[in-house]
Structure 1
């Protein structure tokens, strides 16, 4: 696909700026069309009026052990004819370097894992330019333990079929490109934390190395309205133990980076991030954690096209980097 807003089917966005262009610009992990909504029923009027914001899911964080409905919203970008399709929703432990092999399909409230998109009134045919939503909500498994999770939505239409079996990926780059280059895929890797604290322990974030060779990674922290401080990324797994610290720069516009670490081939584990701030975190502030890998001489054309320089990475000042994953934490006054 060309790098233009040329998608002509049902779009599930990766972020509010996503208009169907490929590849999607960052952040690709903050889909506002995957909408956790607690035990409430999502009104279609609110679904339409919030299309350009705010993110409805931030006011309804998942409450463990209770009823949690998750809706998926779409929009028909076809110019001359209606569209129709089904949406599926998957979840996995949330993290910086995801292992798609851990994805599990969610079941809808009405049963099944493939849910038709419908418009206001319940029709399956979506006119051009119209918003649609999953006919019934997907249900979060009440038995899931507390933690951070990500969700992936896929849209299956006659023009752009999408298998119920998610693809497998032989490298982290292949997974990243699958999200960026498919407007019928939405990814939500965003969570809510309480504001007005100075210390946050963000635990059990997934990390994985899908490559069949040991691979070097760098972690970064940035955000909005962040006081200065530090973030320590650590892993106690004896296969890949590390403790790496990055500086947080107020007011949060600059990104701080850790030293690099090499993860073993085909590795899967977790990372805990301890954020220590000099001042309490303001409400509506954002903490964004990212993972990068330096681009090697063996990198392909698409990998090099997505790579960017980073300023201030210890020991790797002249390298180009590919962003492989990220997680956003939004501070609110009413998070659970």
Structure 2
């Protein structure tokens, strides 16, 4: 097993910095929305084994966002910075979705410095915090990057899913947080709109969407996924199981959105800790470099014939995900 030689920003708590990354949900615990703390360095180092993120205050322009990164190198690292960008929730975080929307500090800076020198194996915490405005924008998906300069080099949009997947799996200094915490959600019906696109101008791509609900949802609850432009509109009772899939072919240059929804019975409330997640896999040719990161069909619980257009040799590679967790006021800042 090879570890990344540099600063790691994790995609999830399970992310150890293995290169190439086996692929994780974009639930980064290293982009931390949290009320102000007196000693961020100590707090974020002491909580490195968990995610202390709190729900964003929707009525505030001043939500603090802290960052941290771990030095996986065998040598001390000096002079590094972290930038964070925001985007609409998306199942395909191509750079143009987020690169033009940096978070800023109170002084207007678009990056924060890590400690001047971070020892091998140590956690470096940003010396300042960003502010997330939750009034003027509803964009809460975030991408974080560690770089040697205050202005990171961001790639242009990739020409294919394959190229994007290779970039994500090989760069452990980049992380994503596409997980929203919703406090005291008042309605029994929930909807989330996630953008989705196909970078190829010539290929139809086999696509598998997986919707997962968790938590003690009451009997009679349903959940589903819809994108009329992609020809999908289906739903399931939770009694059929918490994980369901639907496949389609995504046409060339598609640029749209996918709706994931859930509905509780009349009079029911969202239980604390319940979640609704959507993950997307795309079909890759077996000779592609990205095919090395495929997920076996049996692990997904689907047959080859159930995935439209996959054919006899195609494989599925995880592209992205979006999630929502329902929390209560007892978890307020």
Bin of the TM-score, shorter chain as denominator length? 0.7 to 0.9
CA distance in 2, matches of 1:196, 1:144: 20
RMSD (CA atoms): 3.1
CA distance in 2, matches of 1:272, 1:64: 25
Deviation of residue 304 (structure 1)? 4.4
Deviation of residue 290 (structure 1)? 0.9
CA distance in 1, matches of 2:77, 2:281: 40
Q: Partner of 1:89: helix, strand, or coil? A: strand
Moved more, 195-204 or 17-26: 195-204
Q: Partner of 1:105: helix, strand, or coil? A: coil
CA distance in 2, matches of 1:114, 1:16: 23
Gaps of 5+ in 2: none
- TM-score normalised by structure 2 residue count: 0.82
Aligned position for 2:165: 176
Aligned residue runs from structure 1 range 315-330, under 5 A: 315-316=305-306, 320-330=315-325
- TM-score normalised by structure 1 residue count: 0.81
1:230 maps to which of 194, 209, 222:
222
CA distance in 1, matches of 2:176, 2:43: 21
| CA 248–85 in structure 1, closer or farther in 2 if over 3 Å, else same | farther
Aligned residue runs from structure 1 range 229-248, under 5 A: 229-235=221-227, 240=229, 242-247=231-236
Gaps of 5+ in 1: 119-123
- Which one has the bigger helix percentage? 2
**How many residues matched?**
317
Task: Determine if the alignment matches structure 1 residue 215 to structure 2 residue 209.
Answer: no
Per-residue CA deviation, residues 282-308 of structure 1 (Å, 9 max, x unaligned), is 3123322111223446x5143244232
2:182 touches 2:326 (CA, 8 Å); kept in 1?
yes
Moved more, 87-96 or 217-226: 217-226
| CA 30–216 in structure 1, closer or farther in 2 if over 3 Å, else same | same
| CA 249–143 in structure 1, closer or farther in 2 if over 3 Å, else same | closer
Q: Partner of 1:44: helix, strand, or coil? A: helix
| CA 313–68 in structure 1, closer or farther in 2 if over 3 Å, else same | farther
Deviation of residue 330 (structure 1)? 1.5
Q: Partner of 1:178: helix, strand, or coil? A: helix
Aligned residue runs from structure 1 range 147-162, under 5 A: 149-157=140-148
CA distance in 2, matches of 1:165, 1:295: 25
Q: Partner of 1:56: helix, strand, or coil? A: coil
Task: Determine if the alignment matches structure 1 residue 13 to structure 2 residue 4.
Answer: no
Q: Partner of 1:113: helix, strand, or coil? A: coil
1:225 touches 1:250 (CA, 8 Å); kept in 2?
no
1:140 maps to which of 126, 132, 146:
132
CA distance in 2, matches of 1:315, 1:226: 33
Moved more, 30-39 or 306-315: 306-315
| CA 293–67 in structure 1, closer or farther in 2 if over 3 Å, else same | same
Aligned position for 1:268: 255
